[in-house]
Chains A and B, each alone.
Chain A
């Protein structure tokens, strides 16, 4: 067989975690291969080894049948491998051509006009639409991607790796991209495309390789497979977990979201027309591949990100435009565990006590006079006493109340079994799991009525995870509404009451956790199954809302009016 690229028994470990184990993969000349897998299945790690960013611990890479060693991105260029990353690496103030030629040293005299014409030549060959002189900061996401693709073609790449190229594109742009990829295939280029969307896999690729949890599952010919077979290979069989779901009586809706639209940092639509509600004592899980708008959704609810359109109602009151502090005071707490854990919410050099105070420093202790204090005193004495208390309160205002914070920190450490020398040890010296317990614990401590928690068990061992699940279940039993953004489908199916699936910012539907199947969720995550319109009732629009239908309309009219004023 004539393989352009072949991987044999590739293994890569980071510390104790095995990112890739015994992976075999091959791409022919003039072929498009899809690489399919959930988050953390090791796709990107594998591709990074081909493009020279990581070096495999074991195994061998072959290019055109020859064993090679790719130790740096330069080596990868040399072997004709070009990777188009998900996050573009472009210089904003440069033109397309300048970005494309950057770092190329062909020994010829540098002349930007030659580069421009060469870029246009490549563009017309494969059917790209590009203006070589346009500056990157004036470009749309799709144009930037085009620049990245031409960049690797300009360097003479024969093997192209595209990491989720369609995630940021509109359907029309995706169509264009696929046409270009097909022309490249005709030209004899080998293309590896990483994607989560099954319909795209079936549309564009010749073969599909599937990874799951760092392991190679298999390769199938696209023409001989189906969506359900691929999903099963991707998510695996259902795993039984011993997580109990606390059964509670649902209250009236606490948090309602209607037609929410939020933009990401890059200006693309990250949350697109999402509807849902959470009732008291209800846990709503949010499933979806990473970067499908989960972070933006959390931030919008917590008041940290601008809402473009739609309504967020808390107990019948719109919270859009309110400052984050006010939203916290209303009882909405958010704990987001980012990949680096310390990134959001905790100050690494502060102790547990100090971190507790960060959130509650405003509530300073006030001494009030009681009946007992004034009993049996004359008017003058009472006046004096009142003045003295008042002075004490004012004098205490600027100072933090460290004593009570320490008591609360101690209680938290004991309750959650946080392993730490003392409550005064800087947080950064704690292990990741303990840091997470502190973060989630602090949020619960503030007695919220809505908890938004994203990846609370990310990177935790089993036992610590169960402590967190128990904490959330306890809150649920108290009547708190919980939005649980998770990664593991098995956990969500066991823990949550309902599961909402996001796919590129769109709500694919909300299903009952006890009635759904993993396959169904997998299909929804990849965009193959859309249940949002499946039943006649519109999802998320609560019938038992705190507001009457007239009030809803009124709110919508107000926000529409504001839009007009803005425009």
Chain B
């Protein structure tokens, strides 16, 4: 049971990054279906960072924990921001259709990652992965089950939770958060009171994409211990993360709990003794069913404060004569 919970929580970080990135993007009124591709891009960027760092140090079997993490994170963020910038330029400045742009970006991100990963030197990945997945709390081993359950994960898991909490506070309590929500709800109203609508949209999309990219990096370097075979599982996590946004009702704080639930469902198949492919398949679509149920419930309740941002998916054209 403990191992199951541990796995669920570890797994949840991948969802949490993707979900958080999409929440921030959607709060600006942009539906970024490119998140799966951006998470793939995070794999490429992060692994490139790790690979460059490993080839730069004299002893690749004994890297510095912090520098290794920083290089990977930086690489992932840059890749995410780059892909996010493409999306933002197309949808905010050129006002292209958001859905089509996003889907194109997903295809592009996946292919781009496949090319980079095929050419990358992967010899030191397993060493790097052990460092990245190592708990930043060395004293955790002495704390029994508490340490096992709460303090045994890699630094990226804690970063995800911190980001989710901080994002929740910023959105709810600060001027910037209020302005961003206004942009996503009613850009005309925000524009009329002098908020720079396009600036906020660019900011939210770039930030959201960068955070989502970390999810891809985490998946390869922490969750599957550096064993990259194909972009497909990362892309699948990306789609689940988008479903999770709806499941958590666009709330970063709820995204922590939602991610753990999705993580549990994601790992459940490894823990079920009956190794039946049918049951595995059943479990893998439970998250989607859960999302549909949440959507239905919200729709039936018809409460205004749990709806998506009103202008989600619509590009903003300033009224002109």
Closest approach, in angstroms, between the C-beta of A83 and any C-beta of chain B? 9
Given contacts A14-B321, A92-B304, A135-B304, contact A102 B190 (CB under 8 A): yes
Alpha-carbon distance A98/B193, docked complex (angstroms): 12
Interface string of B166-189 (1 = CB under 8 A from A): 000000011100110110011011
Asked if B144 lies at the interface with its beta carbon under 8 angstroms from chain A, I say no
**Among A54, A94, A103, A151: residue with most chain B CB under 10 A:** A103
Asked if B194 lies at the interface with its beta carbon under 8 angstroms from chain A, I say yes
Alpha-carbon distance A416/B301, docked complex (angstroms): 54
Asked if A90 lies at the interface with its beta carbon under 8 angstroms from chain B, I say yes
**A77-107 contacts to B (CB < 8 Å):** 77, 85, 89-94, 98-99, 101-105
Alpha-carbon distance A335/B154, docked complex (angstroms): 67
Alpha-carbon distance A74/B196, docked complex (angstroms): 11
Asked if B315 lies at the interface with its beta carbon under 8 angstroms from chain A, I say no
Alpha-carbon distance A99/B188, docked complex (angstroms): 13
Chain B binding surface, main DSSP class: helix
Closest approach, in angstroms, between the C-beta of B186 and any C-beta of chain A? 5
| Contact residue among B174, B193, B305 (Cβ-Cβ distance under 8 Å from A102) | B193
- A residues in contact with B284, CB < 8 Å: none
A102 touches B304 (CB 8 A): no
Closest approach, in angstroms, between the C-beta of A268 and any C-beta of chain B? 19
Given contacts A103-B195, A110-B175, contact A91 B304 (CB under 8 A): no
Asked if A388 lies at the interface with its beta carbon under 8 angstroms from chain B, I say no
| Contact residue among A14, A77, A92, A101 (Cβ-Cβ distance under 8 Å from B178) | A101
Alpha-carbon distance A94/B305, docked complex (angstroms): 9
**A410-443 contacts to B (CB < 8 Å):** none
Alpha-carbon distance A14/B310, docked complex (angstroms): 33
- A residues in contact with B182, CB < 8 Å: 91, 94, 102-103
Alpha-carbon distance A135/B185, docked complex (angstroms): 14
- B residues in contact with A105, CB < 8 Å: 175
Asked if A331 lies at the interface with its beta carbon under 8 angstroms from chain B, I say no
Give the size of the chain A interface in residues (CB under 8 angstroms).
23
Alpha-carbon distance A127/B268, docked complex (angstroms): 62
Alpha-carbon distance A101/B193, docked complex (angstroms): 9
Closest to A15 in B: B321
Asked if B192 lies at the interface with its beta carbon under 8 angstroms from chain A, I say yes
A90 touches B189 (CB 8 A): yes
Closest approach, in angstroms, between the C-beta of A14 and any C-beta of chain B? 6
Alpha-carbon distance A105/B175, docked complex (angstroms): 8
**A247-266 contacts to B (CB < 8 Å):** none
A110 touches B192 (CB 8 A): no
Alpha-carbon distance A542/B321, docked complex (angstroms): 44
Closest to A74 in B: B194
B174 touches A110 (CB 8 A): yes
Asked if A73 lies at the interface with its beta carbon under 8 angstroms from chain B, I say yes
B186 touches A89 (CB 8 A): yes
Closest to B172 in A: A112
- B residues in contact with A104, CB < 8 Å: 193
Alpha-carbon distance A92/B184, docked complex (angstroms): 11
B194 touches A103 (CB 8 A): yes
Closest approach, in angstroms, between the C-beta of A115 and any C-beta of chain B? 10
Given contacts A110-B174, A110-B175, contact A77 B194 (CB under 8 A): yes
Closest to A89 in B: B189
Given contacts A102-B182, A103-B179, A110-B178, contact A93 B304 (CB under 8 A): yes
Closest approach, in angstroms, between the C-beta of B96 and any C-beta of chain A? 19
**A470-486 contacts to B (CB < 8 Å):** none
Interface string of B297-309 (1 = CB under 8 A from A): 0000000110100
Interface string of B220-255 (1 = CB under 8 A from A): 000000000000000000000000000000000000
B310 touches A92 (CB 8 A): yes
B189 touches A102 (CB 8 A): yes
Given contacts A90-B186, A93-B304, A135-B304, contact A73 B194 (CB under 8 A): yes
Closest approach, in angstroms, between the C-beta of B203 and any C-beta of chain A? 16
| Contact residue among A14, A77, A91 (Cβ-Cβ distance under 8 Å from B189) | A91
Q: List 22 A-B contacts (CB under 8 A).
A: A73-B192, A73-B194, A89-B189, A89-B193, A91-B181, A91-B185, A91-B189, A91-B190, A92-B304, A93-B304, A93-B305, A94-B182, A102-B178, A102-B190, A102-B193, A102-B195, A103-B179, A103-B190, A110-B174, A110-B175, A110-B178, A137-B304
List 7 additional A-B contacts (Cβ < 8 Å) besides A89-B193, A102-B190: A54-B321, A74-B194, A77-B194, A91-B182, A91-B185, A92-B310, A104-B193
Interface residues of A (CB under 8 A from B): 14, 54, 73-74, 77, 85, 89-94, 98-99, 101-105, 110, 135, 137, 151
